[in-house]
Structure 1
Amino acid sequence: MKNLSIFQKLLFSHLFIGICTLLLVAYLFYHSSKDALIERTVAQLSSINHLKKIYIEDYFEGMQQSTQLLARNSPLLELTVAPQASRDTAATNRMFSLLQQEFAYQDLILLDTSLHLLYQQTQSFQFPADTSAKFTEIRQLVTNTLANSHPGEILVDGEYLLFTSAPVKNASGQTTGILLMRLPDGPMEYVLHLRDGIGQTGESYVVGADFRMRSHSRFFPEAAPHDMEVRTLATQNAFTNQTTDHILADYRGVPVLSAYQPLQIPGLPWVIISEIDLEEAMQPVFRMRTIMVGIGLGVCVVIALLTWFVSVPLSARIRELRQVVLQLSRGIWPKEPLIITSKDEIGQMKGAMNQLILGLQRTAAFASEIGNGQLASTYEPLSNEDYMGNALLQMREKLQSSQQRELILNRQRTSALLEGEENERRRISRELHDGIGQLLTAIQFKLNTLDGQEKVRSEIKAILEETIVEVRRISHNLMPSVLQDFGLEAALKSLCTRTAQASRLKVNFSFDTHPDSPPLSQEVSISLYRITQESIHNAVKYAQATQLDIIVDCEPDQVQLRIRDNGIGFDWEAYQQRTTHETHGIGNMRERTYLLGGTFGLNTRAGAGTTITVSVPQ
């Protein structure tokens, strides 16, 4: 009772006696009427079900007798013993057309004793000339029907075909052939679909032992009977001769009243079921229930109106909330949360007011964080209609977009700077090679022409040669000509060779190119070369490595560069915590990779070496 509102408490106390009395009378009256109506409807369904059962059983018995009578017809005996060539096909067809009109079958099939087809009248289905493919089914049908004079069925192409059969015997009583007569399903369908006494939703149908229909459903007339599975409690009870309940769910899952029993047709383990929707059968009771519900609602409305006059004292507590709302309308937040003393409507309103105040405080804090540039702050609006919160989220998105545009501009500026740096490297390399290099070579030639002071001249010559080598090395590092002339593979191979010669590193180099991979652009080649150059520098200077592996894989859609050493490595997370920005070398490699639209990865830990992975699109 503590969780109920004041109005509910008053209402329930006034309604309790009246509603309890009304419910008790309604319950007794409703269930007595319902049980009587169900009993009468089930008795009517059972009667209809029994009449249709008798008709279907008589129909199959009559058709079996007709088949036995037809098997004694002399033209059939002649077909089983006469050679194929001696038949008059036209006369035979005319004769069997008359027999079909008399005996009302759908198709007539004549087999020899080896179950080979001798004659089929209407070709209503494709009967195999050689029955070896269906020999087991046909043999079982013929054996059962001949031994016991029973009808049978065969499943052909998803359709159950009904047959009666009889042996064709000569004058001496010897079996010379076998007659199969296919029965039409029209007479049985006609009887089952008669709607007298079963209302608008009533239905009768036949189910086989495989729990599939043998007649068409009135609710799914286009569906083949074999496609309709009826694994309901009604079919199970009918096959086991049990009666548990008449209110069941049919094959549609709809509650129905059901009457069922097995058909006494030898050779055909079928059951016949008659059903009507429970909703239709119970319409009189439902109408009475609706009337009683209306009366009950009327009583409740009268009592509710009386209760309303008792609820006037609630207005005093509402005035208390009004004062808080007025303060919020002026932007003044209560210093303390509202105290909730009950769980009725007033208590719930106080709880909602506390949530609103907290939500406004979160919104103000979020706006302050955005103003301070903390665009990664998270915020959840109070609801989908929270206009203020959604406006702040839109403002954050616009600021993030502006920040993203600024980042793109910074990258463009960085790309321009790197491009200018490469151009300056080319210019300085040319100046060193074409200017200073040639001057130093000229000095070397001039020095060779001087006579005297051989020792001094040799020392100067050695220093000059060392200077020429150093100038060439600087020029090559600034912009190796082999990169421009022969491409990335030759440049990296030259870089690895020079690194191995100038240090104690063992450098392993691998460059694999897919046949469908396009040629590398100058921009990609220069960037990958600079990244490799920087990585080798770090490995030689800091890693204390003895082996360096450089692997390049050129695929049709991307180029991947992997550089790993067996050096001392370092703690990458600790390094990032100690420094607020990356070193120039690592930052330069990462920036070059991002400018190409690729991904940069660095994997290292203390004592386990370092691996740098760069992937850029082609």
Structure 2
Amino acid sequence: MLFNRLNIGNKLALIIIGLSLAVSAFLSYLFYVQFDAALKERVLLQLSSVKQLKIVKIRKELNERYDAFSMRSKSPNDTEPSALFFHEGIYASLPDSLLGYPIASMLSEVGRSITMFDLTHHNPSHEITIGLVTQINGGFLIALAEEPEIQGILLERTGLGQTGESYIVGSDYKLRTKSRFLKDSPKNVTVKSDGVIRAFENQPGEDLIYDYRGTQVFSSYEKIELSGLKWVILTEINHQEALFPLEELKNKLMIMLLVIILIVPIGSYYLSNKMVRPIVEMEQKLIDMSKGILDPIKSTQTRHDEIGHMFEALNKLVNALNETIVFAGKIGAGNFHASYQLLSEDDKLGQALMQMKEKLQEYQKNEQHLLLENQRSILNGEEGERSRLSKEMHDGLGPMLTTMKMSIQSAELSPSTKKSLLNQTDETIREVRRMSNNLMPSVLADFGAGEAIGNLVDQINESSNIRIRYKNDMPSEAKIDDSIQITLYRIAQESLNNAIKHSKAKEIKLSITAFDNRVSFYVSDNGVGFDPEKNTKGNGLRNMKERVKLANGTLEIESQSNGTTLEIEIPIE
């Protein structure tokens, strides 16, 4: 091909010319289209504004008649006629005709409310004429009114140019107002354009349509409805006049495109030769190097052209590879949350490392999950063993001690010996009951953690100088898993034990509340407090944290010199 035989400068010049012409043509077309859309939008917006202004004025005229007729209906016997009506009167029944205007045939039903109806087509002078009727005691109040003011409002051409007009169409699709362009009577003109049809279907709007003359126009249309009167008002302007500025713009764009066609080739050849010269020089340098002529090359650090950018890009690539190595080292060291920015969408090495990171994160997550499940299994085993031991002590050792006590009571011993043995037996029975209750209180299985914690608080209040205030807002019928009930009870044991041993508090407040999706446990004391950030020697706080973690709950600790507060929330599901 001839293009392949050209040198790089000429190729670049042709490419620049082609691209410049293509871009210029495209931008001209795009600007033309956007200007066309903006101009049409402005025209439709202007038509809509003119139409709304006319609607407001027309409604004002109609409302004046309506209000005057309404006042008259409240005092129908007032003999003074209104200047707004050319006829008004009271009739025992609806007349078939009144002053040449049909009445009964225009109305399907008349009630106490006011009904307005259109009589324009029956007016010999073609003036807009409306009738108003309402039912009163003794018959019907009827008034007739001409509306020349409405015709005047529609004939106002402000903002409508030379070909614009506004007109009204009735529910029979007949023109109600005089046309600027037709000499025929309005009642002989049928208007069934798209705008009229849409307006009567309660779809007002603006669009490019064909009017009653078959002329393409920009139209804004809307239905006017008042007390039974149904009209459609349309405000329109010819398509050709509205888009006249667009034709001027088209001519200017064509002239501008011709100027570009003349200027771009000259500029393209000049710029291409200037841009290609460094590449030609580099070509000569490479030829010399291929011949063994190793002249020094200027440092690329001082260059700011494409060649300098190539070396700069290479340096960036080396830096990026170093970052990749660092990232791989972090992953190898177990830092699976290290971040890495891909060089591009095609960075295969980086993508492979990211996938490896995700897999290792998944393995770590699974390992943590298995560890958590193992801890739960161990804890459940401990609670099961506690429950078994508690039951054996209660059901096995307890009856044996009770039998021993009965045997001592019936034995022939001295009173002092018998009393001493009975006291020791009672103390042993109490200790066995206490140990059994600590292992697994029966009230926990029967009534839940709320009642079990209440019994624990009662026991501590009897044997301790610390005052414990307990509030149980967890109903016994609440459907909460047994493992959560046990967890709450053990947390209560640990928290109360820690407060009694270490807080030096005078009062402890404790509450447990069940919600729809969680259980809230709260305990506070007025003791000396501690530093939650420091490792404590005891296992109480650590055991609570582990139990909350295994129950997927949250633990918040606030401790100051005036007391400590623990807030725990455990999800029910």
Counterparts of 1:376 and 1:98, CA distance in 2: 82
Match of 2:221 among 224, 241, 245: 224
Select which of 89, 104, 108 maps to 2:129.
108
1:187 paired with 2:179, answer: yes
Residue in structure 2 matching 1:552, options 512, 525, 535 = 512
Alpha-carbon displacement from aligned partner over 1:153-196 (angstroms, at most 9, x marks no partner): 79xxxxx9989xxxxxxxxxxxxxxxxxx9845624889xxxxx
Taking the aligned partners of 1:214 and 1:438, their CA distance within structure 2 comes to 93
Tell me, in whole angstroms, the C-alpha distance in 2 between the residues paired with 1:446 and 1:98: 121
1:530-569 → structure 2 map (5 Å cutoff): 530-569=490-529
CA deviation string 1:255-284 (max 9, x = no partner): xxxxxxxxxxxxxxx999964354421323
1:136-147 equivalences under 5 Å are none
Which of 344, 361, 364 is the aligned partner of 1:383?
A: 344
| 2:311 paired with 1:350 | yes
Residue matched to 1:252? none
The answer on 1:585 being equivalent to 2:540 is yes
Shift of 1:318: 8.7
1:613 is aligned to 2:573: no
The whole-number CA distance in structure 1 between the counterparts of 2:439 and 2:363 is 37
Question: Following the alignment from structure 2 to structure 1, what is the Cα–Cα distance between the partners of residues 223 and 301?
Answer: 66
Q: Which of 277, 281, 287 does residue 313 from structure 1 map onto?
A: 281
Instruction: Kindly indicate whether residue 267 of structure 2 is the aligned counterpart of residue 300 of structure 1.
Output: yes
Partner of 1:477: 438
Counterpart residue number, 1:420: 381
Partner of 1:601: 556
Letter matched to residue 588 of structure 1: N
Structure 2 CA distance, aligned partners of 1:214 and 1:558? Answer: 54
Q: Which runs of 5+ in 1 are unaligned?
A: 1-9, 15-75, 122-140, 155-159, 164-181, 192-212, 228-269, 320-337
The 1:555/1:316 distance shift into structure 2, 3 A limit, reads farther
Q: Which residue of 2 aligns with 1:402?
A: 363
Match of 1:285 among 224, 233, 252: 252
CA gap of 1:97–1:518, structure 2 versus 1, over 3 A, is closer
CA contact under 8 A between 1:514 and 1:554: conserved in structure 2?
yes
How far did 1:608 drift?
Answer: 3.0
1:609 partner SS? strand
CA distance in 1, matches of 2:520, 2:427: 37
Q: Residues 572 and 605 of structure 1 are in contact (CA less than 8 Å); yes or no, is this contact kept in structure 2?
A: no
Distance of aligned partners of 1:318 and 1:186 in 2 relative to their CA distance in 1, 3 Å threshold: farther
1:489 to 450, 453, 464: 450
Question: Aligned-pair distance for 1:467?
Answer: 3.0
Deviation at residue 317 of structure 1 after TM alignment: 8.3
Shift of 1:535: 1.2
Deviation at 1:521, TM superposition (A): 3.0
Per-residue deviation, 1:374:
0.9
Counterpart CA distance in 2 for 1:78 and 1:226 is 27
User: Separation in 1 of the partners of 2:392 and 2:379?
Assistant: 20
CA distance 1:278–1:317, change in 2 (3 Å): farther
Contact 1:514 1:556 survives alignment (8 Å): no
Quickly say closer, same or farther: Cα 1:306–1:560, change in 2 above 3 A: closer
Partners of 1:545 and 1:98 in 2: how far apart?
96
**SS in structure 1 of the partner of residue 343 of structure 2:** coil
Counterpart of 1:92 in structure 2: which amino acid? Answer: G
Is this contact kept in 2: 1:550–1:562, CA < 8 A?
Answer: yes
The whole-number CA distance in structure 1 between the counterparts of 2:498 and 2:538 is 11
Do 2:88 and 2:144's aligned partners in 1 also have CA atoms closer than 8 Å? no
Q: Distance in 2 between matches of 1:78 and 1:303?
A: 85
**1:209-220 correspondence runs (5 A):** none
> How well do the aligned residues superpose, as a CA RMSD in angstroms?
4.7
Q: Aligned equivalents of 1:367 and 1:615: distance in 2? A: 39
Residues 514-558 of structure 1: CA deviation (Å, up to 9, x unaligned) = 79x743332222121111111111111222222122211122332
Q: Secondary structure at the match of 2:179?
A: helix
Deviation at 1:224, TM superposition (A): 2.5
For residues 278 and 88 of structure 1, the distance between their equivalents in structure 2, rounded to whole angstroms, comes to 55
Map of 2:484 onto structure 1: 524
- Provide the C-alpha distance between the structure 2 equivalents of 1:430 and 1:86, rounded to a whole number of angstroms: 99
Which amino acid in structure 2 is aligned with residue 298 of structure 1?
P
Aligned partner of residue 611 in structure 1, secondary structure: strand
Letter in 2 for 1:119: L
Alpha-carbon shift at residue 424 of structure 1 (Å): 0.7
Q: Which residue of 2 aligns with 1:151?
A: 152
| 2:254 counterpart SS class | helix
Distance 2:447 2:242 in 1: 89
TM-superposed deviation, 1:111: 7.7
Distance 1:363 1:216, change over 3 A: closer
Contact 1:597–1:617 (8 Å) recurs in 2 = no
Amino acid across the alignment from 1:224: Y
Q: How does 1:165-204 map to 2 (within 5 A)?
A: 184-185=176-177, 187-188=179-180
For the structure 1 residues 571 and 220, does the alpha-carbon distance in structure 2 shift closer, same or farther, using more than 3 Å as the test?
A: farther
Distance in 2, matches of 1:598 and 1:98, equals 80
CA displacement, residues 462-519 of structure 1 (integer Å, 9 cap, x when unaligned): 444333322221111001112223332321111000111222221111112479x743
Tell me the residue number matched to 2:459.
498
Contact 2:519 2:572 in 1 (8 A): yes
**Corresponding position: 1:368 with 2:329:** yes
Secondary structure at the aligned position of 1:536 is classed as: helix
Query: Following the alignment from structure 1 to structure 2, what is the Cα–Cα distance between the partners of residues 189 and 536?
Result: 98
Residue 570 of structure 1: how far off its partner (Å) = 1.5
1:328-381 deviation digits (Å, cap 9, x = unpaired): xxxxxxxxxx97223322333333222222211111111111111111222222
- Cα 1:432–1:190 change in 2 (3 A) is farther
Shifted more, 295-304 versus 84-93: the winner is 84-93
1:296 maps to a residue whose letter is I
Structure 1 residues 534 and 277, CA, compared in 2 at 3 Å: closer, same or farther?
farther
Kept in 2: contact 1:489–1:511 (CA 8 A): yes
2:390 maps to 429
Contact 1:549 1:565 in 2 (8 A): yes
SS of the equivalent of 2:301 reads coil
Q: Percent identity?
A: 26
- Structure 2 counterpart of 1:128: none
Structure 2: gaps spanning 5 or more residues: 1-8, 14-83, 104-117, 134-140, 156-164, 169-173, 184-203, 210-215, 225-234, 288-298
| Change over 3 Å in CA distance of 1:223–1:601 after alignment to 2 | farther
Q: Is the 8 A contact 1:428 1:478 kept in 2?
A: yes
Report how many residues are paired: 409
Give the aligned residue type for 2:125. F
User: What TM-score results when the alignment is normalised by the length of structure 1?
Assistant: 0.56
Paired with 1:583 and 1:355, the residues of 2 have a C-alpha distance of 55
Counterpart of 2:350 in structure 1: which amino acid? G
Q: What is the aligned counterpart of 1:276 among 217, 225, 243? A: 243
On the 8 A contact 1:569/1:607 being kept in 2, the answer is yes
